[in-house]
Structure 1
Amino acid sequence: MQQKFEAAIYNEEVLAALQEGEHHKNLSDSWAETHYFEIYASSLEDAWDRMRRKYSTDRGFIIKSVEEVD
């Protein structure tokens, strides 16, 4: 059974670029702020794994939280 989760994610590379008066070469400036995504997964661990695969720290993404929602 799939549960519903919400992930809060931003990109530290975009944030750093904006702080230096620059822009990230591939991502919009909005990624400096937290984005919220709904995800369906079998467990909290599965939800974290899915988010880590899609929003890799190698590309500057920071997953602030993943929480179960109703």
Structure 2
Amino acid sequence: MALFEVAIYNELVKRAMQSGEPAAYSDDWADTRYIEVSARDEMDARRKVLAKYPKDKGFVIRGIGPA
């Protein structure tokens, strides 16, 4: 297994902050966060992150690379 760094943010939080509306998650999610995940390859890292931070909840992966 390799260690990957995943750049992720929440588009719904970003939009809510821009319009002054409350968001379902912390305002911190409007900015890119970096998460480390142990995975076989980049696709496996993406799968693991999206299982915890799903697209339908507004999460967007900006990039994945070696940690």
Per the TM superposition, whether the score is higher than 0.5 is yes
Q: State TM-score, norm by structure 2.
A: 0.92
Q: Larger Cα Rg: Structure 1 or Structure 2? A: 1
Please list every run of at least 4 consecutive aligned residues from structure 1 whose deviation after the TM superposition is greater than 6 angstroms. none
Q: Render the CA deviation track for 1:23-42: whole Å, top value 9, x for unaligned.
A: 20x21111000010011011
2:21 aligns to what? 22
Q: Distance in 1 between matches of 2:53 and 2:63?
A: 13
Identity fraction in percent: 42
Unpaired segments of 5 or more residues in structure 2? none
User: How many residues in Structure 1 have an aligned counterpart in Structure 2?
Assistant: 67
Q: Output the aligned Cα RMSD.
A: 0.9
